[in-house]
Amino acid sequence: MINILWERVRQGHRTIAYPVGDPPPLPDRFRGLPVLDESKCADGCRGCAEACPTDAIARDDQGLRLDLGRCLFCTDCVDACPEGAIRYTQDYRLATTTREDLVLRNGQELKLAQPLEQKMRRLFGRSLKLRQVCAGGDSSAEADLNVLGTVVFDLGRFGIQFVASPRHADGLVVTGPVTENMRLALLTAYEAVPAPKLVIAVGVDAISGGIFRDHPEVHNGVEGLLPVDLYIPGNPPHPMSILDGFLRMLGRLERNEPRTVPVTAQPHPALLPVAT
Amino acid sequence: MNSQGFAALHARQAIPRGQVPQMPFADFRGSIVDAVAGGQRVAALFGDVPDSTGNVDLYAVLADSSRALVRVGKTTLDSDRFPSLTPDCPPVHLFERELAEQYGLRPEGHPWLKPVRFHASYRPGHDAWDRRPGEHPVIGVTDFFRVEGEEIHEVAVGPIHAGVIEPGHFRFQCHGEQVFHLEISLGYQHRGVERVLVGGPGKRTIHLMEQVSGDTSVGHATAYCQAVEALAGVEPSLRAQVLRGVALELERLANHTGDLGALAGDVGFLPTSSYCGRLRGDFLNLTALLCGSRFGRGMVRPGGVGFDLDAGRIKQCLERLEGAFRDVSSAANLLWNSASVLARFEGTGAISQDTCVALGMVGPAARACGLECDVRRDFPTGIFRFKLVPVSSWITGDVFARAYVRWLEIQRSVAFVKDQLQVFPEGPIRAIVGPLKPDHLVVSLVEGWRGEICHVALTDSQGRFSRYKIVDPSFHNWMGLAMALRDQQISDFPLCNKSFNLSYCGHDL
């Protein structure tokens, strides 16, 4: 018993001060919000778009376009661009209210998630119960949702809690590209949640199918199956991105001051091309 | 007869497909049965439809750990029916169900022939259950094993579970609290991974590998990269191999630590549950220090690795590893010194070594039954050829053993990472991977944190994948969980399940 108490003292207090204090430091190689600088693009160059494994990047008549709802936050575009027209920053704030807001354009700022309208905020603002449904998720987004329940993030202090039954829930948190084999279970769980209800798509798989997009066995995420109230991109999203999205949606991040965010450290000089 | 009819090769040695011995089915079957009886293990058994005749080739990959060799053989079926191997060789039971589902084959005499993942046959017009062509099978619609009796009741759980975890369906046949039988029916996570790999490699392939099982990104990516490197005749630099080894062990550390915490949580021992929940994140953050992703995405790449380490980063890594290890040590030792925890762990969900061998189990779950198997020692590749990680085992086969083996492995993985980072070879981190050899076969093995990951790649005449087989360790081990539940209280299911912590998506692919 004494050992348990001593260990309790030794392990100390570990809950982060955020959102009252600063967010915890992220690794310098963390790939958060990408920024586009089209002025660096060579004429007619489509290197990034061709390298992108999920066709998240395109160059159309309006210029360079990056869909965060499809982005794996990998390094393939950065490696393919000798000019550095695409760079990652360490900005973990990625969540949006609409699917269209996830599309980045040159020089445009990401329109972060807006608070729910007043009635919904009054209902859920200080108590939000969520049922998580993994529909083909690879267990990484699920793991980082579980992380929010640890002493570090302590989701309970915001009144947000994952519950076992959809009937006890105010909304669904969906992960995974929605396999055909989970479609019915997902829709049934949604039906079981009492109205008004929310749907939160966590991770690129749930938003667009991610790397599994257009596989015959998947549905390209929840799009077209369920109405989504909050999109949290990432592969998987960092726990801070998820927490930021939840709090933003609930209108609990009043301090929305612009911060200067460091650019993500480049791994090393341009990689060798890989012939496959 | 023994497996001498099979070709012997080293793990990640590419051989021309023509050198894979072709034999009559009876010899193929006999070789596998005898080899398994003689102590070899079936690492993979899979089909391939090589040409327009539509006939199915069966390939078997046997792991002969006593000689550090894998043995490969093949046969061509001239009909959709063949005598099942399972009655004489239980470890192939799930492989045969998979063959039935993927190619519409009928292993006759299989005691348990049910769908594995509930998808349509790869060969239209050939269906093992005579389902209607062109329709997607409805998941969960199959014959479930049922114990009859007045006082028997059935408990069905899932696909959606109470926690934030992956979906699967479990059916218990109970007498009061006592579980007579547990049937596990999966497939809800099936994303059709193997089929879209055909025709690759392409720009999506490595990313798919990292998401075969998202908590084993480094493990599966390493297995894939070893396969394409062997097919291209490329050897990554020693520096890259060290970095892969470090990433693989950090993945093991994060998951094992998380599992110890979850096991503590399942028996209501909150101190270790809280500490390990946080410490798991510390190990994930160490992986992010390497490559920016907590799950190792972007770290392992064909030809080497995507990220290098400099002196400052190594120093930081070692310091943080030391701190996390100190905290994990005290958190884990609380478990072994708490009578209430031991009372719940010991004797719960025990499986005998005989059952473990009969099922062909792998990884920590097998080592917890006293089986000395570990790909890092038995089929070493990469940096593990130069640095031995001792095999950690225990003998009781229960929840305690599966927890304790994890703790032993945590200690050894930390020692390995510290050792590797202190003397760090110079060199490039990535080599160019050229075209793959046409018409070749390669077997790649990696000891992921759940056990043996086996990838088998077959290339066509253009050097593209004509078949790519993935066997996640969970594929071997799910039946072990079912056996562990026999005669247990149903309330111990969460604890037993967590002590295995198998992958649903790795199984479902």
Q: B403 Cβ partners below 8 Å, 6+ apart?
A: B259, B260, B263, B335, B345, B499
Classify the C-alpha dihedral B358-B362-B366-B370 as positive or negative.
positive
- Asked if A81 contacts A49 with a C-beta cutoff of 8 angstroms, the reply is no
- How far is residue B421's CA from residue A2's CA, in Å, rounded to a whole number? 37
Q: A73 Cβ partners below 8 Å, 6+ apart?
A: A31, A32, A34, A88, A234, A235, B293, B297
What pLDDT, on the 0 to 100 scale, is given for residue A44?
81
- Given an 8 Å threshold on Cβ–Cβ distance, is A181 in contact with B189? yes
- Asked whether the predicted pLDDT for residue B47 surpasses 90, the reply is yes
Which position has the higher pLDDT, A2 or B216? B216
Residues B430, B289 within the same domain: yes
If you measure CA to CA, which chain B residue comes closest to A267? B307
- Given an 8 Å threshold on Cβ–Cβ distance, is B214 in contact with A141? yes
- Asked whether the predicted pLDDT for residue A206 surpasses 50, the reply is yes
Write the residue in A27, A145, A274 that is nearest to B302 by C-beta: A274
What pLDDT, on the 0 to 100 scale, is given for residue A155?
92
**What mean pLDDT comes out for the span B384-392?**
92
Within-domain flag for B324: yes
- How far is residue B220's CA from residue B259's CA, in Å, rounded to a whole number? 20
What pLDDT, on the 0 to 100 scale, is given for residue B230?
96
Tell me how far CA of residue B486 lies from CA of A59, B155, B172, B173, in angstroms. 59, 14, 10, 10
Going by pLDDT thresholds of 50, 70 and 90, the confidence category of residue A275 is: very low
> Taking CB atoms and an 8 Å cut-off, how many pairs form between chains A and B?
205
**What mean pLDDT comes out for the span A126-150?**
93
Residues B260, B367 within the same domain: yes
What pLDDT, on the 0 to 100 scale, is given for residue A255?
59
Within-domain flag for B128: no
What does the block give as tokens for B91?
A: 């470890």
Final residue in a domain of this structure, among B108, B143, B160: B108
What pLDDT, on the 0 to 100 scale, is given for residue B222?
97
Directed axis angle between helix A2-11 and helix B270-291, to 10°?
Answer: 30
What does the block give as tokens for A231?
A: 């999109």
Classify the C-alpha dihedral B198-B203-B204-B208 as positive or negative.
positive
B439/chain A closest Cα distance in angstroms: 16
- Asked whether the predicted pLDDT for residue B395 surpasses 90, the reply is yes
- Average pLDDT along chain B: 93
The number of beta carbons lying within 10 Å of the beta carbon of residue B268 is 10
Domain assignment of residue B45, given as a range? 3-108
| ∠ Cα A265 A268 A271 (to 5°) | 130
What pLDDT, on the 0 to 100 scale, is given for residue B135?
84
What pLDDT, on the 0 to 100 scale, is given for residue A272?
45
- How far is residue B374's CA from residue B364's CA, in Å, rounded to a whole number? 9
- Asked if B357 contacts B367 with a C-beta cutoff of 8 angstroms, the reply is no
**What mean pLDDT comes out for the span B393-410?**
96
- Asked if B499 contacts B403 with a C-beta cutoff of 8 angstroms, the reply is yes
Phi/psi for A80 (5° steps) reads -85, -10
Within-domain flag for B181: no
The SS3 assignment for B91 reads helix
Within-domain flag for B118: no
Residues B246, B367 within the same domain: yes
Tokens 């798509």, located at residue: A201
What pLDDT, on the 0 to 100 scale, is given for residue A261?
73
What pLDDT, on the 0 to 100 scale, is given for residue A139?
93
Tell me how far CA of residue B120 lies from CA of A36, B111, B171, B178, in angstroms. 43, 22, 24, 36
Tell me how far CA of residue A34 lies from CA of A38, A106, B222, in angstroms. 13, 11, 27
Residues B375, B486 within the same domain: yes
Chain A, window 206-225: residues with a beta carbon less than 8 angstroms from a chain B beta carbon: 210-212, 215-218
- Asked if B480 contacts B502 with a C-beta cutoff of 8 angstroms, the reply is no
Residues B271, B415 within the same domain: yes
What pLDDT, on the 0 to 100 scale, is given for residue B132?
85
- Domains of chain A plus CATH, in order, are 118-249 (3.40.50.12280)
What pLDDT, on the 0 to 100 scale, is given for residue A254?
66
What does the block give as tokens for A264?
A: 């993500």
- How far is residue B493's CA from residue B480's CA, in Å, rounded to a whole number? 13
Question: Is A16 part of the contact surface with chain B (CB cutoff 8 Å)?
Answer: no
**What mean pLDDT comes out for the span B96-113?**
94
Within-domain flag for B136: no
Final residue in a domain of this structure, among B82, B108, B134: B108
Phi/psi for B446 (5° steps) reads -140, 140
B268 Rama class: left (phi>0) / alpha (psi -120 to 50) / beta: left
Task: Please name every residue paired with B300 in a beta bridge, in sequence order, or none if there are none.
Answer: B305
If you measure CA to CA, which chain A residue comes closest to B232? A276
Residues B79, B205 within the same domain: no
A175/chain B closest Cα distance in angstroms: 10
A62 Rama class: left (phi>0) / alpha (psi -120 to 50) / beta: alpha
Q: Which tens digits make up the pLDDT trace of A237-249?
A: 999 999 999 999 9
- How far is residue A81's CA from residue A51's CA, in Å, rounded to a whole number? 9
Within-domain flag for B213: yes
Q: Which tens digits make up the pLDDT trace of B276-317?
A: 999 999 999 999 999 999 999 999 999 999 999 988 999 999
Q: Which tens digits make up the pLDDT trace of B126-185?
A: 999 988 888 889 998 888 999 998 899 999 998 998 888 999 999 999 999 999 999 999
Question: Is A240 part of the contact surface with chain B (CB cutoff 8 Å)?
Answer: no
Directed axis angle between helix B270-291 and helix A140-147, to 10°?
Answer: 120
B42/chain A closest Cα distance in angstroms: 26
Number of domains composing chain B: 2
Query: Which of chain B's residues have a Cβ under 8 Å away from the Cβ of A150?
Result: 274, 277-278, 281
- How far is residue B359's CA from residue B478's CA, in Å, rounded to a whole number? 10
What does the block give as tokens for B48?
A: 């391939």
- Given an 8 Å threshold on Cβ–Cβ distance, is B190 in contact with A179? yes
Tell me how far CA of residue B509 lies from CA of B173, B191, B208, B287, B408, in angstroms. 28, 6, 10, 24, 30
The SS3 assignment for A110 reads coil
Residues B200, B95 within the same domain: no
Complex confidence, ipTM: 0.92
- How far is residue B234's CA from residue B431's CA, in Å, rounded to a whole number? 8
Going by pLDDT thresholds of 50, 70 and 90, the confidence category of residue A60 is: confident
- Asked if B260 contacts B403 with a C-beta cutoff of 8 angstroms, the reply is yes
Write the residue in A8, A27, A162 that is nearest to B288 by C-beta: A27
- Given an 8 Å threshold on Cβ–Cβ distance, is B164 in contact with A135? no
B163/chain A closest Cα distance in angstroms: 6
Residues B274, B384 within the same domain: yes
If you measure CA to CA, which chain A residue comes closest to B261? A150
**What mean pLDDT comes out for the span B256-270?**
95
Within-domain flag for B174: no
Residues B372, B245 within the same domain: yes
Q: What percent of chain B has pLDDT over 70?
A: 99
What pLDDT, on the 0 to 100 scale, is given for residue B62?
95
For residue B488, give the CATH number of its domain.
Answer: 1.10.645.10
- Asked whether the predicted pLDDT for residue B213 surpasses 90, the reply is yes
Residue A199: which H helix or E strand, with range? strand A198-202
Going by pLDDT thresholds of 50, 70 and 90, the confidence category of residue A9 is: confident
- Average pLDDT along chain A: 89
Task: Please name every residue paired with A247 in a beta bridge, in sequence order, or none if there are none.
Answer: none
> Using CA atoms in the order B203, B204, B205, B210, what is the torsion angle rounded to 10 degrees?
130
Within-domain flag for B179: no
Residues B372, B497 within the same domain: yes
What pLDDT, on the 0 to 100 scale, is given for residue A18?
86
Write the residue in A11, A147, A210 that is nearest to B327 by C-beta: A11
Going by pLDDT thresholds of 50, 70 and 90, the confidence category of residue A37 is: confident
Final residue in a domain of this structure, among B83, B108, B133: B108
Query: Which of chain A's residues have a Cβ under 8 Å away from the Cβ of B141?
Result: none
Going by pLDDT thresholds of 50, 70 and 90, the confidence category of residue A259 is: low
Residues B98, B205 within the same domain: no
**What mean pLDDT comes out for the span B104-108?**
94
- Given an 8 Å threshold on Cβ–Cβ distance, is B307 in contact with A164? no
For residue B62, give the CATH number of its domain.
Answer: 3.30.460.80
Q: Is the peptide bond before B438 cis (omega within 30 degrees of 0)?
A: no
Residues B299, B396 within the same domain: yes
